[in-house]
Amino acid sequence: MVVGFNHNFRYKGEVYHVQTEDGGVRSPQVVTLLYCGGTILSSKKTSYTDLCHKDNLTSLVEELMKEQHREMLRRLKDGEFDGIIDKRLSGPAEEAAPARTSPPLAAKSASLPSASPPPAPKPVAPVAAPAAATTKPKPAATEANLDDIILSYLIGEDK
């Protein structure tokens, strides 16, 4: 009996993991999970309780697992999860700076006794502006790379 399938592959520059497992006759269900960076992006659970009395249960469950695994890969490749992926990659919005609750430093120092004048500031060398952030260009839709070829193979498009 096949316990499960696992595949790591690259899609749009990120590594994804698809995992499909059989719960066995005590928990007759096939579960497929799509991960990116340890986060579950999608899941699918299919019960096969109705198949448990069949003589060829092992081969039926194996075929169900293969098809459900391929289906998750196909859905990813067809762009079904692109919205979730884009949202995840953009990250949370930056929080606004907290409001100042204490008086400005100048107001505090005015009430302190003056001992001696503060030392003159040391000259600071100018710092070059950081280079503009660059994003990885996305491959053209018509450009077939090895990742696309492997993904197509896994979902059965090569037949």
Q: Where are the domains of the chain?
A: 4-89+145-154
Residue from 9, 49, 11 nearest 27 by CA:
49
> Which residues, 6 or more positions from 155, have their beta carbon under 8 angstroms from its beta carbon?
70, 73, 74, 77
Residue 42 vs residues 8, 59, 75, 144: alpha-carbon distances, Å: 15, 26, 10, 26
Residue from 159, 158, 157, 155 nearest 68 by CA:
155
Tell me the range of 16-20, 86-90, 143-147, 148-152 where mean pLDDT is highest: 16-20
- Whole-model pTM: value is 0.61
Rounded-to-integer distance, Cα 50 and Cα 93, Å: 47
Rounded-to-integer distance, Cα 59 and Cα 55, Å: 9
Residue from 71, 91, 82, 70 nearest 11 by CA:
82
Mean pLDDT confidence for 100-109: 41
Which comes out higher in pLDDT, residue 3 or 59?
59
Residue from 2, 5, 37 nearest 18 by CA:
5
pLDDT band at 158 (very low <50, low <70, confident <90, very high): low
For the chain, the farthest-separated pair of C-alpha atoms sits apart, in whole angstroms, at: 95
Mean of the per-residue pLDDT values of the chain: 76
